[in-house]
Amino acid sequence: MRYESGMNGKEYKPQDYPLPYVVEDIRQWPIYKLTENKQNFIDEVRLRVREKLKARFASEKSLRNELANVLYQERIRLTEKPWKADPPDERQFWNGLKSKLIKLEQVEDNSTLNEEALLDEIINRYVNEIVGDFKPGAFGIARTILPQFFGRILSAAPGKWFKTVAGNMRTIHEKIPITGDIEKIRHLATKGTVVVVPTHFSNMDSIMVGWILNEMGLPAFTYGAGLNLFSIKILSHFMSRLGAYKVDRRKKNGVYLETLKMYSTVALQRGAHSIFFPGGTRSRSGQIETKLKLGLLGTAVEAQKLHYMNFPVETAPKIFVVPCIINYHFVLEAHALINDYLKETGKERFYKENDEYSTSFRLVRFIFKFFSASSSLSVSFGEVMDVLGNKVDDEGNSYNHLGQNINVKNYFITNGELKTDEQRDAEYTKILGERIVDNYHRFNVVLTSHLVCFTFFELLRRKYGGYDLFTLLRTPSDEVSIPYAEVVESVGRVKEKLKEMNELKEVLISPELRWNVDKIIDHGMRNINMYHSLSPLTKNGDYMGSEDLKLLYYYHNRLEGYGLEKAI
C-alpha cells in the first residue's frame, strides 16, 4: 500500500520487507562498538559531565550547594515516589552521601574528602544506572521471536489459521504501510548518524518504531526508555540488551539531567543511531505535538558542533534528523490519556468518572484487535534534515529553505571562529524543533477514523454552540445526535479540503480517503469501534451519535490545527 507522499527515491512494496541490513556485520554497528567499549564510554561520560559541572559551579561553596540540592531532591523522591525498579541500596547510598556532606561542612581539612569526590560519586551512580547494553545474542532472539509473536496473533485472527509465518509477515506489512524516502534514510545511515524523532501517542510507539527501523534494514538504534518499564522482568531483560538506556523522569536535578544529556551526546558522537521522543511524554489530548521538549534534541545539535570542533569540515561526521509520524486508528490508552488532559485543562470544572478495567486483559485484547483490524496504523517518515532543520539531499548535503547549499559548520562560527555558546545552540534546537513540528503536520497520514471523528465532533460543537467544551463532554451520550445525511455532507467537504491540502503537500491522506463518503464513514467507524467497549461513533437508523464523547474528542483532536473546521 502506498500513500501519495510526493517524495522521490525507490519505493518498497510490502513484500520487500524486511529489507537487507545496510551494514551486514552486526559487529560493525555503532551500537555494538559502543557497548564493546562500554567502560571507556562510561568513563568519558563521567569525566565530561564532571568538567561541565565543575565549570558551572566554580566555587567550592556553589558546588556544595548544588550537592545539597541534589541530595534534598533525591530524598524527597525516595520517600514520595519509590519504585520497584529502584536498586535495593538506593536509601543507603543517599544516606551515606548525606553524612559525608555534613562531615564536609564540619571538617576544615579537606584533603581526603571534598566536593568534587562527592560529585563524582553521584555522577558515577547515575551513569551506571542509565547505561544500556547491546547483546547480539539477545538481538538475534528478539528478531526471531518478534515476527513469530506477531505471526501468532495474526494466525489467531479468524480466517487466517493456515497462513505461514512468512505469509503473515507480508500481511503485517500490508497492514502497516511505511511511507517516506526509505532508501535515502538507509543510505544516510551508512554516511552519518541518524536520529529518529517520532510522535508519541502510545506506549506501543517505542516497540513499533524499533521494529519498523529493523524491518528497514537499519542497524539497531539506542533510545531512552522509562525506568518504570524496567520493573517488568522480561521487558527489562530484552530492553537492556537491545540498546535501550534508562531514563528516570522523577529525577529532575541538574546533575542527573546533565549526565543524561552527556550520555546521549557521547553516544551520538560515537555514531550511535538514536531515537528521541521529542514530545517528552505521550500526547494527552490526542493532538499532534506542537511544543517539544528540547533537552535530548539539543544533544544532536551539541554532538554535531563537537564533530566540527574535532574533525576537519570535509570529514566531520554528520547527524541527520528524521521525523516519524505514527498513526493509529485506535490508541490503547486513549481513555486514560484524555482523562489526564481534561483534568489538567478543566481543573475542577470536569468531573472525572472512574473507569476501572483489567489492564492485562485490555492489553491482550488490544494487541489481538490491533493486528486483526483491517488497517490498524501507518508509519510515515518526514524529510531528512540536518541539526538546524535544513533539508539534506541523498548524499547528506544541506540546503536551506531557499535551496541554497549550506555548510552546517557555519552556524557555529562567529567572527570566523568556531565557538561554543549554549544560548545560541538552545535557540538552534528550538528552530530544529519547529521544523520537526512542521513535518509532523505535513507528513501526518489522515486515516478515515480521524476524519469521521473530527467532522462529527465539530458538527456537535456547532449544534450545541451554547455549551462550552466541558459541558458538551458531560452531556449524556443519548442526547447527542446528528442526522446521518448531514454527517455525510460535511465529511465529504472536509475530505475534499484534505485532498486539496494533500495536493499542496500540507498533509498526507490514506488511500481510503479516495473512497466515497459512505464507505469512508463505515471504514472509520469499524476501525475505531473495534477496540473501545463504548463506541466513539454510533449509527442508529438515520442518525449518528456517540457513546463516549471524551474518546470522540480525543480522536477528533488528531486533526486539530489544520483549520479544517472552516471546511465543514
Partner 1 sequence: MSANRPVGVIGAGSFGSAIANLLAENQEVLLYERNIETREQLNRERKVKGFDLHPNIRLSDSLEQIASSCYLIFPAVPSQFFKNMIIDFSPYLRPDHIMIHTTKGLHCEFDIDKADAKTIRLKEIKTMSELILQETGIVRVGSIAGPNLALELMDKQPAATVVASRFDEVIREGVAALKSDRFQVYGTRDILGIELTGVLKNYVAIAAGAMSGLGFGENARALLITRGMAEMIYIGKALGADKRSFLGMAGIGDLIATCSSPKSRNFTVGYRIAKGEKLEDIVASLGEVAEGIRTLKIGKLIVEHTGVNAPLLQTIYKVIFEGLPMERAVKFLMRYPVSADAEFLSL
Site size toward partner 1 (CB under 8 A) is: 20
The x, y and z cell numbers of residue 95, run together, are: 544516606
Q: How far is the CB of 111 from partner 1 (least distance, A)?
A: 40
Q: How far is the CB of 301 from partner 1 (least distance, A)?
A: 12
Complex with partner 1: residue 337 or 387, whichever CB lies closer: 387
C-alpha cell at 307: 564533530
Phi first, then psi, for residue 315 (nearest 5°) are -105, 0
Say if CB 261 and CB 295 are below 8 A apart. Answer: yes
Helices (H) and strands (E) in the chain, counts: 20, 17
| Beta pairing partners, 223 | 244, 275
- Secondary structure, 3-state, 117-145: HHHHHHHHHHHHHHCCCECHHHHHHHHHH
**Omega before 536 within 30 of 0, i.e. cis:** no
We find the least distance from the C-beta atom of residue 497 to partner 1, in angstroms, to be: 18
Query: Residue 402 or residue 504: which is nearer to partner 1 going by CB?
Result: 402
To the nearest whole angstrom, how small is the minimum distance from the Cβ of residue 449 to partner 1?
32
Does 190 interact with partner 1 (rule: CB under 8 A)? Answer: no
User: CB of residue 414 vs partner 1: minimum separation in angstroms?
Assistant: 6
Residue located via cell numbers 483534568: 343
In one-letter notation, the amino acid at residue 442 is R
User: How far is residue 15's CA from residue 163's CA, in Å, rounded to a whole number?
Assistant: 15
Closest CA to 369 of 220, 256, 507, 530: 530
Q: What is the C-alpha to C-alpha distance for residues 222 and 326, in angstroms, rounded to an integer?
A: 19
Contact range with partner 1 by CB under 8 A, out of 91-99, 109-117, 355-363, 400-408: 400-408
Instruction: Report if residue 410 touches partner 1, rule: CB under 8 A.
Output: yes
Binding mask 348-387 for partner 1 (x = CB under 8 A): ----------------------------------------
**In this chain, which stretch among 122-130, 210-218, 258-266, 396-404 interacts with partner 1, using CB under 8 A?**
396-404
Q: Could you tell me if residue 159 is left (phi over 0), alpha (psi between -120 and 50 degrees) or otherwise beta? A: left
From the list 445, 472, 450, 444, the residue with the least C-alpha distance to 525 is 450
- Closest approach of partner 1 to the CB of residue 501, in Å: 17
**In terms of residues, how long is the chain?**
568
CB of 461 to partner 1, least distance (A): 23
Interface residue with partner 1 among 137, 315, 404, 465 (CB under 8 A) is 404
Give me 486's grid cell: 448531514
Among 413, 462, 485, 514, binds partner 1 (CB under 8 A): 413
SS3 260: helix
* Mode of pairing for the β-strands spanning 193-198 and 391-392: unpaired
Show the binding pattern over residues 419-438: x = contacts partner 1 (CB under 8 A), - = does not: x-x-xx--xx--x-------
Q: Left if phi > 0, otherwise alpha if psi is -120 to 50, otherwise beta: which for 243? A: left
Tell me: does residue 542 bind partner 1 (CB under 8 A).
Answer: no
400 lies in the site for partner 1, by CB under 8 A: yes
The smaller minimum CB distance to partner 1, of residues 431 and 469, is found at 431
| Binds partner 1 (CB under 8 A): choice among 247, 331, 388, 482 | 388
Shortest spacing between CB 441 and partner 1, in angstroms:
16
Q: Is 331 left (phi over 0), alpha (psi -120 to 50) or beta?
A: beta
From candidates 20, 88, 416, 465, binder to partner 1 by CB under 8 A: 416
**Residue choice 148, 231, 359, 414 for contact with partner 1 (CB under 8 A):** 414
Min. distance of Cβ 410 from partner 1 in angstroms? Answer: 4
Other residues' Cβ atoms within 10 Å of the Cβ of residue 536: 29
Q: Least distance (Å) from partner 1 to the CB of residue 421?
A: 5
If the CB atoms of residues 308 and 457 are measured against partner 1, the closer one turns out to be 308
Identified binder of partner 1 from the candidate list 406, 452, 491, 537, rule CB under 8 A = 406
Q: Could you list the residues that contact partner 1 (CB under 8 A)? A: 388, 400, 402, 404, 406-408, 410-411, 413-416, 419, 421, 423-424, 427-428, 431
